[in-house]
Amino acid sequence: MPSSSPNVFEIGNYATILQRFEPAATCSTTNSTVPTVPPPKPLLIAMPTDAGDFPLLIFLHGYLLYNSFYSQLIQHIASHGFIVIAPQLYELAGADASGEIKSAAAITNWLSEGLPGLLPPNVKPNLSKLGLAGHSRGGKTAFALALMKTATTLKFSALIGVDPVDGMDKGKQTPPPVLTYVPHSFDLDMAVMVIGSGLGEVKRNPLFPPCAPQGVNHRDFFNECKRLACHFVIKDYGHLDMLDDDTKGIRGKASYCLCKNGKSREPMRTFTAGIIVAFMRAYLDGDFSDLMSIRDGHATSPVELQTVEFLD
């Protein structure tokens, strides 16, 4: 079995595959020895091809985005020895995120029974090492699920908000609201990381509001965390700069037009994938070396950080 790359900002040493699975009545399986239970939502799964027992990460997409827009990000994470499950929570959605929270819970509850049948026989999911992440409104959904707005049968050990957003402005949260505006009020029994974009709260032009407005963005989510929490804000990059370079279709093209963006997506995508790997290694595997190296400025980062905060 290959070892993980020592540099989390580079592609790891595990070869990976990216597979899509639909919630059809009869779902094909890559593992003939395990019966297949169809997933409750379409899934995009990035996984190592080498034999092993791998931690898991559920990654929830942003508002009106496709899970395929995160293909490069989740494959980078998988190349360091993780199975990453990116569901498509909906095709269209209104303001209320309650359905997304329920769908994310249903996917989590499905993992024990259904995931092994979708994986190659030599790739084993370690359900005792489970992380939850989400971008934008997916970040809000991840926090809501972790705060037990919908119960799950499996326990999360790590929570990651990638530029999470809880509405249009303070007082204009989308239902169900997650932020309470009470400092350190989140009652979470897991480690938390919040990643923010420096340009997320900047308007692209006068016609569009900022994509991660002040009052409902990463700063507010971190302010409500208690202990075992960290906060990284990437300077000069925007709310959608962790997506794939080539995002197809109308929504993909719009992702380049609606938010204030950095010069290119690769640096922020690379940092986001790398810091997720470092955080997961720390709180799922007990190896804090990469996370501490990034915190202390010893690691060579592809981006400039404007904020680094830790609550121990």
Tokens 């931690």 correspond to 55
pLDDT in tens, 206-230: 888 999 999 999 999 999 999 899 9
- CA dist 62 and 97 (Å) reads 11
- CA dist 254 and 173 (Å) reads 23
| Lowest-confidence pick of 25-34, 82-91, 211-220, 277-286 | 25-34
What pLDDT score was predicted for residue 38? 92
What pLDDT score was predicted for residue 206? 83
For helices 98-114 and 137-146, give the axis angle rounded to 10 degrees.
70
DSSP string over 19-75? EEE---SS---S-TTS-----SS-EEEEEESSSEEEEEEEEE--TT--GGGGHHHHH
Tokens 């995009």 correspond to 44
What pLDDT score was predicted for residue 33? 57
Secondary-structure class of domain 16-311 per CATH: alpha beta
What pLDDT score was predicted for residue 208? 83
Instruction: Burial-class residue 298 by CB neighbours within 10 Å (0-12, 13-18, 19+).
Output: exposed
Average pLDDT over residues 19-28: 73
What pLDDT score was predicted for residue 151? 84
Residue 34's pLDDT band, with cuts at 50, 70 and 90, is low
**The one-letter amino acid at 17:** I
> Pick the residue with more confidence: 101 or 206?
101
Q: Shortest CA distance to 162 belongs to which of 142, 176, 178, 145? A: 142
pLDDT in tens, 46-92: 999 999 999 999 999 999 899 999 999 999 999 999 999 999 998 88
What pLDDT score was predicted for residue 25? 45
Domain ranges of the chain: 16-311
What's the angle, vertex CA 282, arms to CA 277 and CA 284, rounded to 5? 85
What pLDDT score was predicted for residue 148? 83
pLDDT in tens, 118-133: 999 999 999 999 999 9
Residues taking part in catalysis = 136, 163, 239
**The one-letter amino acid at 165:** V
Q: Is the pLDDT of residue 311 over 50?
A: yes
Residue 35's pLDDT band, with cuts at 50, 70 and 90, is low
